[in-house]
Chain A
Amino acid sequence: MKYWRTPYDLDKIEVPKGKVHIIKDRCKGCGFCVEFCPRDVLEMSEEFNSKGYHPPRVKNPENCVNCGLCEMICPEFAIWSTAKGEKEGKGGQQVPRGNKG
């Protein structure tokens, strides 16, 4: 990461790392996640999904900081991110939202 000035607590604060998950077949190719990702992690892929749209693809996986904007801005519930340090025993899932099963 590039800083315009070195923060005093740079050695104390750990920049979170995230992993992006994409359900390709839900995507309708609107491109919101690719355009508005603040860390430029995603790009549109050339491949087609089962509906005939181009889903996004992870371009720079090391840039993801698990901000979760892609999850919020996706109208199709097709993309989300998880923290990389989390245990991946449950398939890398986040704690599901909602208290009803």
Chain B
Amino acid sequence: MATVFFIIVAFMITSYVVLDGFDLGVGALSRLLDRGERDEATELIGPIWDGNEVWLIAGGGVLFLAFPRAYASAFSGLYFGMILVLWLLIGRGLGIELRRQFENPLWRTACDTVFWLSSAALAMVFGVALGNVVRGVPLGPDGYFHLALFDILNWYALLIGLFGLVVLTAHGASFLAWRAADPLAQRARGWARRLWWGKLVLALGCAGPTYAVRSELFTHFADHPWRLAFPVLALGALGAESAWQRAGRWSQAFAASGAFIAGLLTTMAAGLYPYILPAHEHRPYGLTVANAATGHHALGIALVWWSIAIPLAVIYFIVVYRLLFRARPATPRLP
């Protein structure tokens, strides 16, 4: 049952990164846009970004429900990182929502700067957080740890942070390449093609360091070959994305970009399992699906309502998107 919730949490976090990932990427790219393009780009993500963010809140809630010990340990141990995420989320929300409130160039420049900086920083910080989870944290026997800011920013985590930034920026570029009108779409296509190479280089480049910090991530796959499906998904998506880019099929390329992210995250989850928060030095102190999970009754109940709530949420999305865009077929701007 705890394993089921490991999958559910992984699913929700993956959904969050795939969905919010492209608007974070658009945010990071908005630095490169001129004023009109920036208006167009923020117009495209304006109605959907906070719906995407609900996945973070809901995913965090389910993590708290199913693995309270891991939630408590990770959030307190990565204190500065977590508070930084909060501040960046607030800054980003304010930046995008307030930019149109006053018709003053200075005001808009200020909002846009906050928006792109916090978007880029969030993409990076999420990578850093995942990097730390993969590397393991210095858990003590009581299940808690403390990482100072510069220990959070270790070389491996920074590398993964950079990877996160590139992957999400490419995801954002893919989105614009598909959704925006020319000439913005043309520029975005160029970025998407160039960032694809960045993704390829970093994906291959991260493999060695990952083996260095956590070799069992690889041995797990040798023990359970079926789990190789996830890295295969990631690499296949990467290849398909390139092919679709060259064929000029940008909606498929965007989907492939999302599938690549999903492949990476599920590879990580499959490699870590049964650990949910591994330890860096004293391996036995690591938090696993078994020792961090809550009681059986709670998980059973939660599975019931979760299976009702998520289809409902999907229905809301479909209904609302159809409502908003059925009447205006001229501007079908949502994915």
Question: Do A and B share a complex?
Answer: no
A-side residues, CB < 8 A to B, are: none
